[in-house]
Every structure is written in C-alpha cells, then in structure tokens.
Structure 1
Amino acid sequence: MSDASDVHEQVRVRYAEAALSVRSGSACCGADDEAVFGATLYDPQVRGELPDDAVLASLGCGNPTAVAELREGERVLDLGSGGGIDVLLSARRVGPTGFAYGVDMTDEMLDLARANAARAGATNVEFVRGTIEDVPLPDAAVDVVISNCVVNLSTDKPSVLAEAFRVLRPGGRLGISDVVAEDHLSPAERAERGSYVGCVAGALSRAEYVRGLQDAGFTDVAVTFTHAVADGMHSAIVRAVKPGGRE
C-alpha cells in the first residue's frame, strides 16, 4: 500500500482492535508472534508488577526502558505508547520526582493506558493524543525519548526523528526498540517479508536509520541488532544523543 493516509488508517484500526480485544478479555497477539513481539520480551518479574491489561497490550519488539538507562528525576516521552507498559515502567524508574509522557493516536489505546495507570496507582504519568510525526509537547520538554516498535509504522520517518530531536533537551538521549532491515534488503524485499501493521514493511535499513538520525541532528548514533523477526529483518536497539547541555 503506497498511500500514506491508507497506511495510517490501517495502523490505527489494527491497534484500536488490539486495545478492544484486551479490554474484552481476548488475546491481542498470535502465538506465532510471541517470541519476537510482545510481553515475553520483558522480565517476568517486571511483568508481574504491572496491570495485566498493560502487559497483554504490549505489541513491541523489545524493552526500551531497559536500554534507555533512565535516572531518578528524569522526564521521559514514549512515542506510540499503546497500552502504557513502557510509560508505567519509565514512571517507576524515574521515581516521584520524574515524569513519563505517552503519546498515541488511537483513542482506544489511550483509554486503556489511562485505565492501566489508574490501576497501577501511577501519578507521575500523562497520556496525550497525538501523532509521533507531530508531538503535542513543547521544545526541550524531556530528557529521554523512548519507543517500542512504532517508528517503523510511520510513513514519514524524517518527521518522527525531527520531533524526537525537538522535544529533547540539549544533552538528552534517544533509546528505542524498532524493527530494522539489513542494508542489502531493498524496500520491495522488506515489503515481501510482511505488512506495515506487522512492523516489517515500513522498516528502515540500519544505514538509513543512522543517516536519518544524523540528518535530524543526533550524534553518537548506534543501531544494534538483537534478534531476528524475519529473514534479514531484526529487532534492534537504537541509541542517539542530542548535542549540548551537560552530557
């Protein structure tokens, strides 16, 4: 599918359905996906500390809170926060003097995330409606940007990376999980391996990711493969720093 608005709507519908399935008590993910996407990528003890619906709604490909090296008192933004699992984990890591924001375009996921935050008793969180291409936060609002298998869903990745750069304070950092292609795969070959809503067709290659982050202004860029999700496609940890500030 080439039309960006159609892809956007397909993604929105898929994640709305996932949120509704969780709230109705049915599973949102197929068994075949569990080893590479979802809650099994989190430590069992961590999963046990969160509301079940936050865990069940996890459709990510990694655990960005484990690689973002969050610190007490920091402000964190999760791009495409879904059912809220990474926002809730971030809120715990940054403590009562810190804060965790989640932005999502899907009303059903926002409703689910807010209900999960209430169940968890989390008071240092806020879920806001918006797109990752146009984040509804001011410049230099956060210390860390995280995301879990969402950037690949966007049809305008330069805007996503530019927005991540904008909302970070100078010296702030990016620590996300995403699906990334090996450099030899063409866009057509990536599309053969899966759909946009399946987090595969829209994936950048490693070289494209590095170049995109550098073009947005980031330094210290690193893209590290963690596990395979399809032939030539991997879950990856993506790190980068916004220059300036105290770091």
Structure 2
Amino acid sequence: MSHTAHIRSHRKPRRSATTSIAVRAGVASGVLGMAAAGAASASAAEPVTQTLELPTLTADLATQVAQSADATQQAAANYTLQAERDAAAANAAKQAKADLAQAKQKAEAKKKAEEARKAAAERAASRSAERTVLSATTSSSTSTSTSTATGSAAAVVAFVKAQIGDAYVSGGTGPNSWDCSGLVQAAFKSVGVSLPRVSQDQSTQGTQVSLSNLQPGDILYWGSAGSAYHVAVYVGDGMFVGAQNPSSGVGEHPLSYDPPTGAVRVL
C-alpha cells in the first residue's frame, strides 16, 4: 500500500457538464427576469426627460468670440468715420465751388468798376480838351462873332434870359418849369418859328454853323446832329442860356462851362 494512500485529496470534485449548464441557465434566467421586471417598472413610472449637454465654452472659443465682436465694432466705427469724411469732403467741395463763384463775381465787379473809372477819366479828359479848344476858338473869333442880337434873334435871347431861375423838369414846356428842348421850342415859338419838340430833331433844323462863327439866337447842341441829347440858345459874348438839369435849372453859362458839339442857325 502506498505511503500516501491515507491522505485525502484536496482537489474539489469535478462537476459534470450537465450541472454547469444548468447553473448557467438559471443565472441567465434570473438576470432576464430582473431586466424584465425593471423594464416593467420603468414603463409604469413617468417618462424620463433626456438632457443634452452643450459643449462647454472654452477659453479659446471665448477669446475668438470677443475678437469677432471687437472686429465687428471696429468695422462699424471705420464705416462711420469714412462716411463722416466723405460728407466733410463733399461739403468742402461745395463750399470751395461757392467761394470760387463769389471770387469770380467780385473780380468781374472790380473789373467793371475799373473800366467805368477809366471811361469816366477819359470822358473828363476829353471834355477838358474840348473846353480848352473852345476857349481858344472863342477868343480867336471874338472879332468875327456878333455879340449884339437884332430882330427876331434879340427876341429869342430876351425870352430865354427871362426864364433864368426857373426850374428844370423833364418834359417841362413852361411857363415856370422847362426841359432843354421845351425852353428852346418856346423861345422860337415867341417869334413865330415852329421847331420840333425834342433835341434830336432841333439839332438838324436850319443851317449847321461853326462854333467859331456863332451869332446870338443860334441853337447849340450836345452830341451829334440828329442824335443830340441837349440843346440851348447862344446869347452872345461867349454865353448861352439853357435848362441844364434839376440842380441848376435854367441858367446862363459860358461856353467853357459845358462846351457844345455843334450849332445850327434857324433865324
């Protein structure tokens, strides 16, 4: 007999395959039963609300959002600034255009004023030269001019001298106010001579005579024959009587006071 025969074996007895399968089946059946019971219990309870967990806003994402907001704000500020600059530029262009137009107007007005001043100076110089020539002519022709009026010429001279001091009124024909042609017409009418009413027509009556050969009663005119703008009566001794203007009225003046252009003799 072996020396180990009396020692009991420590190995557990082997289960048969049939027993193992039966145990496994029982366990599975129990698990399935518990699962079915849990499902039935869950069906009887209130529905479970499913909660979706949003992604957490990380630091990088927050930085990107802030940068995007800053960029949008900066773009809006840039657009506003550009709009203000465009408006300012448009206003500046409009003001510059207005200033240029005003400067042109001022320059044109200055130019016209200068031209008018030059023209006035030229007229004054021309009148002065005419007076000088007339004075010399009158002095040299004194011996040939008739200073004493006779007949109808004397009556015409007397008539115009009688009106000295009367007022000048445009369109006036007497008896106390006259214009230049109205006085001349009335003077010649007093001796039976009919003259046209206006100075332009009176300057073409009778015969044209030289200013160096004047006689009392001759009609003096200013301007050109047929388009004269003023007339008066020569009364002798280098003097004339005429209705000059509203400030001086009817007066007697030397030829040098306002040298005439020409003269006609009607009597």
What TM-score bracket applies, with the shorter chain setting the length?
under 0.3
Which TM-score applies when normalising by structure 2?
0.21
Greater per-residue strand proportion: 1
> Which of the two has higher C-alpha Rg?
2
Which TM-score applies when normalising by structure 1?
0.22
Greater per-residue helix proportion: 2
